[in-house]
Structure 1
Amino acid sequence: MSVRDTLTRLENMVVGATRLPFTEKTFVNDQELIRCVEELRKDLPQELRRANEIVEQRDKILHEAEKEAERIRKEAKQYANRMTEESEIVQQSKDRAKTILQQTQQQEREIMERTRKNAAQLQNDADAYANQVFDQLISHVNGTFQGVRQAEAGLQQALSVLQQAKEQMNQQAARQAQQNAGGEMAPAEQ
């Protein structure tokens, strides 16, 4: 399952959680929450590995472009060396070699520029994707955490209400016992 799917499940878990009556608190299944967090721990390294593969692919493209540029340069030099025979031929050769070298350098610049742009775009896309995954993860975990805290606060309130009810019941029972004890004494005194 992808990180996005797991984050969507976390969000749906919080949105669809049972609400505590008279509060804005919700109950979240902690086992399901833990399972989602474990899936994120499992899936995040895969997403990061994919981003690293993109970076490695960019580096490979750059390396291949450099090798191709070097090969073209060598061919141009070899061509220029072959053309150094007679003066007219030499001049023509020099002119041709110069043209080829300029074309080669221009091609090299264009290839390198395209490769740099592609690599930069791949890096930006990988960084943006990683940031988006982390932002979503932080947002969903924070939302889930807030939901758990709200549920905890609701339970604290319920516990307090139950303790107050118990104290009132005990006080009422004590008053009743005193009244009963006072009522029994009155006839004995007569």
Structure 2
Amino acid sequence: MDVLRLLDEIEDILEESSTIPFAGKLLVDKEDILDVIKEIRIKLPDEIKQAEWIKEERQRILAEAQNEADTMIEEVKVHMEEMIDEEEITKKAKERAEEIIGKAQVNAKEIRLGAREYADELLKEVQEKLNFVIDTIDKNRDELKGF
């Protein structure tokens, strides 16, 4: 920084100045000191502007980094919610599938039982008709024997 160099220059001027004995005072060239102060006044606004720019740039970078971090956090939240939703959908689909399979198994069992009962009824009717036919055949044979 030029301002620090100029302050060092003032310090050098003061150190190189003659001292007044027993007074603890210095004899300095007023023009030298005023020239350095004038340069400081000229340089100071530029350096202040540069420092302000650095400060603003730092703030902008920090704000940008915070925005990026917030965006990333939000994206992670959305992704997690999507994954949770997908898991819920999968879970509900599995539950629904199990429910459908259960109903299908109950229906299949009812159909098997119904088919067995129907087949048993048909066989019973056939058996009764066959018994009737056998009885009729036996009677007819008995009649034939009686002749």
The TM-score normalised by the length of structure 1 is: 0.50
Distance in 2 between residues matched to 1:143 and 1:94, nearest whole Å: 74
> Is 1:106 aligned to 2:46, yes or no?
no
Q: State the match for 2:100 in structure 1.
A: 152
The TM-score normalised by the length of structure 2 is: 0.64
Correspondent of 2:86 among 109, 134, 138: 138
Q: Taking every aligned residue pair, what percent have the same amino acid on both sides?
A: 7
Q: How does 1:1-190 map to 2 (within 5 A)?
A: 91-189=39-137, 190=139
C-alpha deviation, 1:119, in angstroms: 0.9
Residues matched between the structures, number: 105
Q: State the match for 1:78 in structure 2.
A: none
Q: Which runs of 4+ in 1 moved over 4 A?
A: 87-90
Unpaired runs of 5+ in structure 1? 1-86
Distance in 2 between residues matched to 1:138 and 1:178, nearest whole Å: 58
CA RMSD, Structure 1 to Structure 2 (Å): 2.0
Larger radius of gyration: 2
C-alpha deviation, 1:91, in angstroms: 2.8
C-alpha deviation, 1:88, in angstroms: 6.4
Q: State the match for 2:28 in structure 1.
A: none
Distance in 1 between residues matched to 2:43 and 2:114, nearest whole Å: 105
Unpaired runs of 5+ in structure 2? 1-34, 140-147
Amino acid at match of 1:106: I
